Structure formats: C-alpha cells, structure tokens
Structure 1
Amino acid sequence: MSDRIASEKLRSKVMSADEAAQFVNAGDKVGMSGFTGAGYPKALPTAIANRAKEAHAAGSEYAIDLFTGASTAPDCDGVLAEADAVRFRMPYASDPIMRNKINEGKMGYSDIHLSHSGQYVENGFFGKLNVAIVEAVRITEEGHIVPSSSVGNNVEYLAAAEKIIIEVNSWQSLDLEGMHDIWNMPKLPNRIAIPISNAGDRIGKSYIEIDTDKVVAVVETNTPDRNAPFKPVDEVSQKIAGNFLDFLEGEVAAGRLSYDGYVMQSGVGNVPNAVMAGLLDSKFENIQAYTEVIQDGMVDLIDAGKMTVASATSFSLSPEYAEKMNNEAARYRESIILRPQQISNHPEVIRRVGLIATNGLIEADIYGNVNSTNVSGSRVMNGIGGSGDFTRNAYISSFITPSEAKGGAISAIVPFASHIDHTEHDVMVVISEYGYADLRGLAPRERVSKMIALAHPDYRPLLEEYYARATSGDNKFMQTPHDLATAFDFHRNLAKNGSMKSQDQLV
C-alpha cells in the first residue's frame, strides 16, 4: 500500500477500481476531477465503463450524469462515451467520441460558463450529487486531499457528494503539494469579497478538507495525465502572434499599458501558445497570468524570467512539459498557483486584476459577434469553457484566429455568426494573420471594414457584397444592417458544397 495514504482511517478503504465502481449506480450524478486533460481519475472511468457494458449486454440500462471541471482525456470521457455510460454531460466536452454522441442526440449536454458550474452543482441545480471521484497526490494524516495537476470543481463536488472515491496517483509529483491555494467560496447570500488583489496572492490552504465519513473507496494508480502535444508554430500562427504583439505595443504607446504591467489570460491551443512564444522576445517583463490553464508557453516564460507568477486552476501541458513539471514541481511552485476554478474564473477577481484576455473562436461576424462553440450553429465543438468569464470581465478582451480553416473551405469571418457566445458588447479586439481590428468605441457600421480586413482575401469580396446588400435602399434600418435573406449564405454553401465560397469561386 502506498505511503501516500497517511490517514489510517482511509487506508482501510483501499480497494481495486472495479470494486470501487460498485458504488457508482445507474442514474447517479457523478462529479469527477479533471480539467484540460490534467488531474482526472485514471482507473474509475474504465471500471465504470465496464459496468455499463456488462449491464447493457444483460439488457439492463446503465448510464450516469457526468460533471467535471472541464475536458478530461480519452481514458476518461472517451471510454465512458464509447460504452454509452453517460446520459448527461456538463460543463465542457472535447473528446471526439463524446462530441459525436452529443451531436447525434444520444447524450444530453449543457454548455455552461466554467465559473458557474461548481455553484450550480453545489446548490442542487441538477439535483443531489451522488458521488465525487477525485484524483489526489496524497491523503494527509487528517484525511485532507492534496489535489494533483488540476483543482477544477473538486472543492464543490467533494462538499456536495453523498459518497467520495479518491484515486491516489503516484505518478503525480509529491512536490505539487504547496502549489495549490484552496479557498472555499462562502455560502450565499451576502458573500464577502474574494481577498485577491494581485495574481500572485495566496489566500487559502494547500489541501482540500473533506468529510472522511463520506469516503467509500480509495484506489491507487500510477498513470500519467494524457495531454496532447502542441503543434509546431507555423507561419500563420507566427503572424497572428506578431499582430497581437503589435496591438500590445499600441496600447503601450497610448499609455494604457506598460511593459512592466501586463496581466494576461490565455485560452488553450496552438495559436495562444504561439503568442506566448512571441512574448519571449518582446519588451514585456514581469508578466503575470491570471488564467485557467498553465501551458507550455507560460512555462517557457517562467524559465526565461519573463513571467513572475501564473495563477490558474490546471495544467494543459504537452507530454514533454508535463514530465518536466513533475520533475521540477518544487521549483515551479514558487511561481505557479493552482486554485479552484470558481476562484480562477471569478468575474470579481478578473475585473479587479485588470487582465487582457485572449481566446480563440470558431467564427466572428462583421459586427464583432463571436461564436466559440457551434459549427454552422448546430454542431457543437467543445463548449464555451471559461472564455465568457474572461471576455465579459477583462480590462481588454481579444480573440485570435486564423482567417480560414479546412484548407480554405471555412472563413472565420462571416456576415452573421450562426451562433453567438460573445456579443459585440463584450468583444473589443479581433486578430488574424492579416492584422487586428480594434472595435472599442465604434458604432456597428464602423466595425465592418476592420472585420472584413481580417478575412482571407478570397472571402473579402463576398463579405463586401453582403454588406452592400444589407445597406441597400430596401433596408430602412441602418444601426446594424443585415440582409436576412442571405445572412447565412456562407453556412448554406458549406452545407451544400463543402465550402463557404460561392459557386462561382468553386468553378
């Protein structure tokens, strides 16, 4: 038995994953740890999936409602989805098998702002949480849980659940202990303010206190997080990063930012990682991050002495950098803080620290509305994640995107977004490889030329033609002109021809 389980009481609960899965019943609402492929349970998902397969083979129903922090990994979301073991999913899903089940209508999915999700569960919006399954670095003598490579919604799920199962993963470095900052949100109403004024403020404990009487099983594992590697930085990503840095330089020139005062938030992905690579050679120093996830680029900035502190709720590291973090966690915990996502994504703190938010998108329309979640309005990709938390409350909100996708078949700039997650009221800056559109203080029609300039040259004439129709004499209303008869022609073309381009362009 692992010496990572220091509590005598909880040592008596050690069992196999298959034995622990017997505590998870059909129809249960289950909260799991995990956020962007880090800190999720490694053994229980497969054991639960096997229970589902056995039940289905016997002609019985077996599925659970699954709540996490955000995305997990193929050996969590993937195995459960493949076994048809999930009836309902919340708040975010990126696994391709699970995505297909959702889009086929075989699984319910509620796409929720990450800052809201823990509170939703803790206050019973979905009903009683039956089981919490959480990965830990170790269990202390008192029975406290030291989280692993993410915190996510662990605090809320452990508090709300009737039963608790703990996976103690010896692959996770013991030196992660001390990196976490666990502060519990006070109960409603009339909460006190979260006492964070700077990204590096520590306000809580390094462990999660639990009711040990609720623990029904402890499972030992030794399995790595399964994060995907980032793609090499390509020419388009480099240009986007350059344009983003040009925007930051413009803010410095305008007196709205200093080289010594940049507080950043970054979404997950290859392009945001390229932006951080660009910061390595920039004039910016003493960069701080108040964000959701620690990515490879932030680790490089810390190593270079460019970033002094990074506050998040999870890692989203390539396998190489995850191994590096495990080996050097004692050093990195001097600069990195992992918090509950209800704190990392809290609007109050985001507004207070004055950060610049940078997130990706699926499409943006000519007036600055952004779709982050649904291709052609109906096919969900992943979810809104924390982008809404940061976009609405940031000092400056920005979105970065290549101008096209699928070999030019899809334009990131469209006449009218087919689904809107971030309205024109919240979107300040949009950046592609062709430049940046600063939309602050502009009336809707003043934004159009700036947004069209971000589009790929193949699509600019189509966008200009659309705007000409929208502002023709037949339209009496000129605040935000649209031609509703052709507003979704890009999306109709994609559905019919496999490309958003017009038939003339395809010939």
Structure 2
Amino acid sequence: MAHADRITCPVLSTRVTTAEEAARHVAHGMSVGISGFTGAGHPKAVPGALADRIAVAHSRGEEFRIGLWSGASTAPEVDGRLAEVHGLDKRLPYNGDPTLRRLINTGEVDYVDAHLSHTAQQAWFGFYGPLDVAIVEVAAVLPNGLLVPGSSVGNNKAWLERAEKVVLEVNHWQPRDLEGFHDVYYGTALPPHRLPIQMTHPMQRIGDPYLRVDPAKVVAVVETNAPDRNSPLNPPDDASRDMAGFLVDFLRHEVAAGRIPPNLLPLQSGVGNVANAVMEGLLTAEFTGMTAFTEVIQDGLLDLLDAGKLDAVSATSFGLSEDGAARFLADPGHYKGRILLRSQEISNHPELVRRLGVIAINGMIEADVYGNVNSTHVMGSAIMNGIGGSGDFARNAYLNFFVSPSTAKRGSISSIVPMVSHVDHTEHDVHVLVTERGLADLRGLSPTDRADRIIEHCAHPDYADRLRDYVDRAKAARPEARHTPHLLDEALGWHRAFLRDGHM
C-alpha cells in the first residue's frame, strides 16, 4: 500500500510502521481506547498483533491483560481475539462478542455497562482513571495533521484527547470520499463551564469535519486495507412485521391527533430485525420528509434515503450489511449532505434528544406488568450485550417504544412477567410496549391500569391468564398497598421456574 494519498502530513508520514511494532506500545495493566461502533471503524491490524503478543507472554507464564474502552461493540478480530487469549481484565462501555460475553459472565473480565452518551464525559471526569494508549482507525491524515474519520466516530475524539500515546490505523478500504461526512463537536467542557449545545435540527453542523490529534502523541501509523464487520442483514420475520405494523399505525394515530407532524419527528432505532421491519414499514407508509437522529445507519435507512422518504440521517456510525456497504461504497457522493456522522457524546446527548423531540424505538429482553423494562440481563444475572444507547434515548425521547416478541425459547419464556429480573428503564420512562400480539400505550396510566393494558395487548395467550391472576391476588393480599401490588414471595417465581425446569 502506498500512503502518498492517505498520509500527507510530513511529520506523521515518518511514523508509518507495522502493526507488530505499533502493538509494542501497549503493556500489561494499561488502559487502551479503540475506535469502533457496531463493527464499523474498528482498528483492523493492531488488536490482532497485540493479541499475538499477549498469547506469547502467557505461554511464558507472564501476566499480560489490559483494560479496553471503545465506542460500542467492535468485531471478532478485536473483542473476540483479545478474549480468546484472555488478554482483557476490564471492558467498557458495551460488548456484543459471544466469547467475551462468556468471560464477563464467568467473572474473568470486569464489565462496566454504561450509557453510551456518558462514556466520553466520564472519561474526562476521570472516573475511569488514565487512558494510556488510543488505537484509532481513520480514512486519511491531511497535510496539517487533521484526521479524516472513517465509518464511525464513536468516542474517538475523547480517546485522541485523553490518551498518553496514539496509534493511528489508516484504512485504504474506507473511501477517501468520506471527507465531509462528519461533524465533530469540540465545544464540550467540564462543569461548571458547560454551555448549551446549539443544535435545533438533526443535520445542523456545529463542529468540524475532522478529528484533531497532537502529533507529538502519535507513536505509530499503520496502514491497512480491510473491510468493516459488515453484519448480515437480519430480514424481518412475521412477528417483526406485525410489531412494525402496530408501531406504524400508532404513528398514524399520533399524526391524526395532532401530537406529531405529518413528516413525524426525528427517528431513532436500535439494531436488529425489528428495526429493519419498522424501516420496511415506513418505506411503504405515507410519511415523507422524515429525518433520523440515531446511533447506527442500517440498510433500512439507506432504503428510505434512496426512496426519497427520508431527507437526512444524523448518526455516529454505519452498521451495514455487505450489500448495504457495497451500495454506499459504489457512490458515497450520492449520500453526501444527507448523512452526517458525529461523536456519540453528541449523537446520544440527552439535551439534543429532548430538544429535537426524538421518536425512539428500542428492543428489550422483558417487561413487567407495570412497564419496567429489562434490556440487558437474562434471568437477572447474565449480561447479554449492555444498555447501549437505549437509556440515552428512552428517558429523553418525545415518544419511546420498547419492542420484543411476546415469548422466547419457543414459548418457554414470557417476555411479559410479573416483575422484571433486572431494571434498566423504569416504568416512569416507558411510553409504549409492542409485541407481535399488540401495542400498549402506557402514557398517563396508573400502574394497575398499565398492568391491565399490557396483559391485554402484549402478553402471549399462554401467559396472560396467569399474569391477571398474579395481579388480582397481589391486590387482594394487601388492600392497603394497591398502588403497585406485588407478591414479593413469588414476584420472580417465573424466572426461578425457568432456571429449575426450563420453562416459565
């Protein structure tokens, strides 16, 4: 790979080296910040070289483990490879790798599951301690030392600012035409010096098209030419399409009631087949002139852009399938001016989510009859992935939806339970629940009214009568405490039954 057109800074071009040499700047006990968000923009070479070093050290009986900070999930060649060699002692703020998930759940790796909007600011607050090395992928290094970001921004700005040493990976796979797709805000400050963020539209530019780095901190520049982890498209199934249908019809109802405009409000959706089904539903719906203020750009958002239904998307990362990535790479200019990538401290910022009036759509593991939602833990203890950005958006959204099939494990688990085994989103923050059975609008309802609506509209028939029985008996058990009635000796009995018998 010739770097003449990608690394044009005279100073940094002298620091081009191999991944193996760059990895030598990481030592046991260090904290390392890496780029990457949902498999886009992660470093492709240095983490693997680092894993090889760790494996050799362990074969000699030497201790070698690091703390790893990122934007969100990365890819098997980062989280998976480092987990395989048992090279991690701490991970934050999100994980999606199955190998690492097993090590987190067995207690080998300490996991800090944090709101994605909080990570950069808490790093600046010093909550996580010093950051020793940042390993950040970019598309190009300009003559003046400015960096053209790649397919995700995530926490890169914070890592470049906070790290003692910086390793840059310049990936030739990232299109050079990405220059101009980014808006990196450098106006944040520590309390009490904070000022309002001056943004009133999802596509308003408030920052710079480039990342900044102190050239004196850059100890290595590595060239790569490797694709992102382009995830297979999760095609919507019948249940997902049913949920999407309920949700889109509800948006129609809100427009007719005058609570949202005909072009809706800025949309945010999590990843997965339900999100893809919602985008598919919006593609055939009557709404036009839509915008999105979200985290990840999946194929469905490209479909809406291409169809002229969606005017613009603000996000922090791509999260495309192989076909979606090929579509974007074939003509990036087609999307320029309609896609803007920001740091996740801005894409997920509560101030902006509330000001813009975002409509948020996120998945859940389970909800209880009163509307509390568990997004992260299976049977109360085992982490699945993490809270991600769902809390950033749900608590501050104009309107939020939590979606899930009504059952899991072929019907052996109910997604609607008497009491959630872990709480990520309290009943105070949950507006609408959706399953393939129906939709429950919880706004303005008391807890017991919520229970009636959730059981009627969202619970699977195999479990609905038992849920009603639980609520009725809880009301009768303590007549003086009927606001949120529970039977504490059996509230988690369904979870206990599953762990014991394999069925709720």
Whether these two folds match at TM > 0.5 is yes
C-alpha displacement of 1:254: 1.2
User: Match for 1:127 among 123, 126, 129?
Assistant: 129
For 1:484, the equivalent position in structure 2 comes to 488
Residue 280 of structure 1 aligns to a residue whose secondary structure is: helix
Matched, 1:263 2:261: no
Matched, 1:228 2:238: no
Q: Which moved more, 1:464-473 or 1:18-27?
A: 464-473
For 1:163, the equivalent position in structure 2 comes to 165
How far apart, CA to CA, are the structure 1 residues paired with 2:337 and 2:23? Answer: 37
**Deviation per CA, 1:246-297, whole angstroms, max 9, x where unpaired?**
1101111211012223311111111111101100111111110011111111
C-alpha displacement of 1:475: 5.0
Matched, 1:349 2:348: no
For 1:149, the equivalent position in structure 2 comes to 151
Query: In angstroms, what is the RMSD of aligned CA positions?
Result: 1.0
TM-score normalised by structure 1 residue count: 0.97
Q: Is the 8 A contact 2:181 2:341 kept in 1?
A: yes
For 1:292, the equivalent position in structure 2 comes to 295
- Identity among equivalent pairs (%): 52
For 1:505, the equivalent position in structure 2 comes to none
**Amino acid aligned to 1:338:** L
Alignment of 1:312-323 (within 5 A): 312-323=315-326
Matched, 1:461 2:479: no
**Amino acid aligned to 1:482:** H
**Deviation per CA, 1:32-71, whole angstroms, max 9, x where unpaired?**
0000010000001111111110110000000110000000
**Deviation per CA, 1:84-109, whole angstroms, max 9, x where unpaired?**
11110000001000000000000000
**Amino acid aligned to 1:455:** A
How far apart, CA to CA, are the structure 1 residues paired with 2:263 and 2:455? Answer: 33
C-alpha displacement of 1:131: 0.3
For 2:451, the equivalent position in structure 1 comes to 448
Q: Which moved more, 1:247-256 or 1:468-477?
A: 468-477
Structure 1 portions without partners, runs of 5+: 501-507
Residue 436 of structure 1 aligns to a residue whose secondary structure is: strand
For 1:504, the equivalent position in structure 2 comes to none
Alignment of 1:427-438 (within 5 A): 427-438=430-441
C-alpha displacement of 1:319: 1.3
**Amino acid aligned to 1:196:** M
**Deviation per CA, 1:112-168, whole angstroms, max 9, x where unpaired?**
000000111123211110000000000000111111100000000100000000000
For 1:50, the equivalent position in structure 2 comes to 52
Q: Is the 8 A contact 1:73 1:227 kept in 2?
A: no
**Amino acid aligned to 1:141:** P
How far apart, CA to CA, are the structure 2 residues paired with 1:168 and 1:439? Answer: 48
Q: Which moved more, 1:224-233 or 1:137-146?
A: 224-233
TM-score normalised by structure 2 residue count: 0.98
**Deviation per CA, 1:156-183, whole angstroms, max 9, x where unpaired?**
0100000000000001111111101111
For 1:406, the equivalent position in structure 2 comes to 409
Q: Is the 8 A contact 1:173 1:327 kept in 2?
A: no
How far apart, CA to CA, are the structure 1 residues paired with 2:258 and 2:379? Answer: 40
**Amino acid aligned to 2:459:** A
How far apart, CA to CA, are the structure 1 residues paired with 2:431 and 2:459? Answer: 17
How far apart, CA to CA, are the structure 2 residues paired with 1:317 and 1:164? Answer: 28
Alignment of 1:76-475 (within 5 A): 76-188=78-190, 189-453=192-456, 454-474=458-478
Matched, 1:30 2:32: yes
How far apart, CA to CA, are the structure 1 residues paired with 2:79 and 2:497? Answer: 33
Residue 425 of structure 1 aligns to a residue whose secondary structure is: helix
How far apart, CA to CA, are the structure 1 residues paired with 2:76 and 2:27? Answer: 22
How far apart, CA to CA, are the structure 1 residues paired with 2:299 and 2:452? Answer: 35
Aligned residues: 500
Matched, 1:59 2:97: no
Task: Assess, with a 3 A threshold, how the Cα gap between structure 1 residues 378 and 473 changes in structure 2: closer, same or farther.
Answer: closer
For 1:503, the equivalent position in structure 2 comes to none
**Amino acid aligned to 2:446:** A
C-alpha displacement of 1:227: 2.6
Q: Is the 8 A contact 2:69 2:91 kept in 1?
A: yes
How far apart, CA to CA, are the structure 1 residues paired with 2:34 and 2:286? Answer: 41
How far apart, CA to CA, are the structure 1 residues paired with 2:257 and 2:26? Answer: 57
How far apart, CA to CA, are the structure 1 residues paired with 2:333 and 2:79? Answer: 30
Structure 2 portions without partners, runs of 5+: none
Q: Is the 8 A contact 1:34 1:152 kept in 2?
A: yes
User: Match for 1:75 among 74, 77, 97?
Assistant: 77
Q: Which moved more, 1:21-30 or 1:460-469?
A: 460-469
Matched, 1:14 2:16: yes
Q: Is the 8 A contact 2:20 2:46 kept in 1?
A: yes
**Amino acid aligned to 1:164:** V
**Amino acid aligned to 1:456:** H
